[in-house]
Chains A and B, each alone.
Chain A
Amino acid sequence: MAVIEIKNVAKRFGEYQALHDINLTIADQEFMVLLGASGCGKSTLLRIICGLETATEGEIWIGGKRVDHLAPKDRGISMVFQNYAVFPHLTVFENIGFGLRMQKMSNDDVKRRVERTAGLMHIEQLLTRYSGELSGGQRQRVAVARALAMEPDVILMDEPLSNLDALLRMEMRAELKGVLAESNTTAIYVTHDQVEAMSMADRISVMHEGKIVQAASPIEVYRNPAAEFVAGFIGNPPMNFLEATPQGGGKFSVAGHSFDGPSAANSNLQFAIRPEDMTLAENGFPAVAKVVEPLGAHLLVTCELDGKLFRAILDSEMQVKPGETLKLAPVKDRIRWFDPETTLAVA
């Protein structure tokens, strides 16, 4: 149980600046997901929090205590590594009990703890095996069990599910979330998989080029992206963008149609809308369908609109042929606006 505060953390590797002035507070028992594309600095931030890397600037506080000068073991954290790092020369039992042994815990206590955590992760029957005799999913469970066995205040996970197949990943996602909620730990979970992030997180921190662009609940990140990057990164397919020119009086012209925009703005803006927030309507934008992809539950249509590609998700019953012109209208209260200068959202 601990609050984590990241204050003005920056990290440089020689000339290269991997993290810029990161500020983030993670509440006690919160499940925080760090989401971002490959190379944006997620692992670096996680490693700074756990003490495997030192920040060039800034402070890390865990549970009201400044920890940047402490060794990883003294920070009350434990970690699940991306490649599991389950020791091959130890049995599953000894792997789970590794940290406890390092604390010189008595044999009986180690046994009790290991058996309980193994039970939580459903790997009681594997305790005598070596990691070479485990499947990827089982190894993953061992790595989580080893972290949980420490009964840490904070558990850090670096893409723990990325090596599993899609089905197993979905299964583990739910299970992991359940186990962590039970254990009352604060969790930081790194992933580049937005579905994983949306489904597990209490809050998502979207990272981009070493900065945190938005930290908010999954639904907030999805509905009200704070920046163009978030709008273009979250959602599959992501938001559509169209040029908007001011007409005065808070009105904006978008592809020949007029919409109510942010009243304070009188420069060019980006009009953004999610593909599923488009409906067919007589007074809609004329869009020429280019590619039609039936996805089962719905129909994904990629059209050309205002000289740009534009995606719409329509009812799967719809019959749309490539070349056909559709009349697409946005759901009014789902329209978002971004300033192309700052790339930030404007309301």
Chain B
Amino acid sequence: MNPRLLPYVLILPVTLFLCLFFLYPFVLVAQQAFSNGSGFTMSNFRDVTEHWKFPISLKNTFLLALAVVPIQLALSLLMATMVTKMKKGRDLILYVWTIPLGISDLAAGIIWLAIFEQSGFLNSMMGGLGLIDSPTNFLSYTSPVMVFVAIMLAEIWRATAIMLVILVAGIGLIPKEYYEAGEVFGATPWQRFLKITLPMLRPSLQTALVLRVILAFEVFAVVQALGGTLFPVLMGETYAYQFELLNGGAAAAIALIILAISITFTLIIMRALRVPKGATI
């Protein structure tokens, strides 16, 4: 076998698999989004974008991503730096921190619902401490900020670890000598973080951010569990169109809009964090 062809032959099965189970359904979805039974149309897109809930759910999705991702980035960087400095117990801590990763997002939403609902842990704890007289409903339409905060907390709790593991692996790849050089040439610990860790972590930051941002635009179950209809997001709208309004064309259109947003942000992140040619380790 021609050795230049071999890699292509080897990835052929996976490629076929992807084509069959991803590309083909994708084409079907696109077809559904752009047709009304008789031919090409943009009416599905017009319908969903002109609906009064669309701007709200778009705004909510972005707001949530904007609130959650930077916090997660900062938190995962901080945690990754701490874990890297540890000599003992580092694996144990990593396992504990990554437990939420193993829980489905709906389950995560339900866990946090159990904390915040009227008969939940938070209420009974605050009642027990005498901080409140009677249980309050934190997650009601009268306290939208509280709903948002609860969703934020749940999302941060659930999905920071995915960034953490990527960053821990990335930091582990940076040779120790660079830090020693930094130290000898007068960089303070903070400067070493800014001038050495961050730039050399760019490839990992790229991966972590892309993954996390895509997940943020797809947020659904956690929001559904905690906010219900109080906090509409794009993915929730897709669900509603498909299963409540039985409008497959509109659901497909929103799904494509989410895809377009994800791709745009992926490209922006890749571009912003790209490593110049020749500047790799």
Please report A residues at the B interface, Cβ cutoff 8 Å: 50-52, 71-73, 77-79, 81-83, 85, 87-90, 98-99, 102-103, 129-133, 146, 150
Contact B278 A77 (CB under 8 A): no
Contact A89 B180 (CB under 8 A): no
18 A-B residue pairs with CB within 8 Å: A72-B183, A73-B186, A81-B180, A81-B181, A82-B177, A83-B175, A87-B178, A87-B181, A88-B200, A88-B281, A89-B199, A89-B200, A89-B279, A102-B187, A102-B191, A103-B186, A130-B276, A133-B278
- Give the total of B residues in contact with A, Cβ under 8 Å: 24
CA distance A257 to B185 in the complex (A): 61
Q: Which residues of B contact A98 (CB under 8 A)?
A: 181-182, 185, 187, 195
With A78-B185, A87-B181, A102-B191 in contact, do A131 and B200 touch (Cβ < 8 Å)?
no
Contact A99 B185 (CB under 8 A): yes
CA distance A102 to B182 in the complex (A): 9
**Minimum distance in angstroms from A225 CB to a CB of chain B:** 34
CA distance A50 to B181 in the complex (A): 11
Q: Which residues of A contact B175 (CB under 8 A)?
A: 83, 85
Contact A89 B275 (CB under 8 A): yes
Contact B183 A71 (CB under 8 A): yes
Please report B residues at the A interface, Cβ cutoff 8 Å: 175, 177-178, 180-187, 191, 195-196, 199-200, 202, 275-281
Q: Which residues of A contact B195 (CB under 8 A)?
A: 98
Among B182, B200, B202, B277: residue with most chain A CB under 10 A: B182
**Minimum distance in angstroms from B151 CB to a CB of chain A:** 37
9 further interface pairs, Cβ-Cβ under 8 Å (given A88-B281, A131-B279, A132-B279): A51-B183, A78-B184, A79-B181, A89-B202, A90-B199, A90-B279, A98-B182, A102-B187, A133-B278
Q: Which residues of B contact A88 (CB under 8 A)?
A: 200, 279-281
Q: Which residues of A contact B277 (CB under 8 A)?
A: 130, 132-133
**Chain B residue, CB-CB nearest to A129:** B278
CA distance A129 to B277 in the complex (A): 10
**Chain A residue, CB-CB nearest to B199:** A89
Contact A87 B184 (CB under 8 A): no
Top 4 closest pairs, chain A to chain B, by CB: A99-B185, A132-B278, A73-B186, A130-B278
Contact A99 B186 (CB under 8 A): yes
Contact A130 B279 (CB under 8 A): yes
CA distance A133 to B280 in the complex (A): 10
Contact B278 A150 (CB under 8 A): no
Contact A52 B180 (CB under 8 A): yes
Contact B276 A73 (CB under 8 A): no
Q: Which residues of B contact A77 (CB under 8 A)?
A: 184
Contact B180 A85 (CB under 8 A): yes
Q: Kindly identify which residue among A50, A82, A102 contacts B186, using a CB–CB cutoff of 8 Å.
A: A102
